[in-house]
Amino acid sequence: MIQAAIFDMDGLLVDSEPFWQDAELVVFQSLGVKITRQDTIDTTGIRIDQIVKHYYSTQGWEGPSCDEVCDMILDKVIELVSIHKPMKPGVIHALTLCKEANLRIALASSSPMKLINASLEALGIASWFEQCHSAELLKYGKPHPEVYLNAAEGLGIAPQFCIALEDSFTGLLAAKAAQMRTVVVPEHEVTAQERWVISDIKLNSLDELSVEMLRA
């Protein structure tokens, strides 16, 4: 029996992926790094420090350190989220269903806590989450399952009794590796891809979530 729902954040609760793409393009291009929007799409769900270190090792730049570049990108994303407050469709519906099903609710994100806190406050949904876990300081980010395992441990619930809600394939792999039941809501542009078959449930929007899916 499912006892907890663990949500990803970027791309699932907050429509922030375009902001990450914009911020990465602006910052990297200002450093002379050759990067396209498709490059930013291909790294969706991967921790920003890993992305920055990749481009530093493959292309390099003069001036700011990798940590400083991460901060530059993060600050731009926080600015955009705070201004636009881009909540994804069905978020309140999904959170309400979880409460009605008496599930504990937590968050497991690759994003730094600074962005998690800013995003949840901007959307007015911080109070729904009993705990928030970030992969920021972990040795490995998603697709490694550690952030999901930490969330389950924090709730005191075995991973097998948790359902993870994700939007990216990287996050889906992390949740599956943690042995959690999974719901995936891919971006419309990639929803037809066969790789989503590894998820237990695939939705077009969180609006489609039902209590029956949560109680399976």
Give catalytic residues, as residue numbers.
8, 10
Residue count (the chain): 216
Q: How far apart are CA 102 and CA 84, in angstroms?
A: 32
CB neighbour list of residue 30: distance below 8 Å, 6 or more residues apart: none
Buried-exposed string 11-34: b where 16+ CB fall within 10 A, e elsewhere: bbbbbbbebbbbbbbebbeebebe
Secondary structure element (H or E) that encloses residue 109, with its range:
strand 104-109
Report the C-alpha gap between 37 and 170 in whole angstroms: 18
CA distances from 29 to 23, 39, 61, 76 (A): 10, 12, 10, 14
Kindly state the tokens that stand for 94: 């999904």
Distance between CA atoms of residues 183 and 201, nearest Å: 5
Tell me the pairing of strands 4-7 and 162-166.
parallel
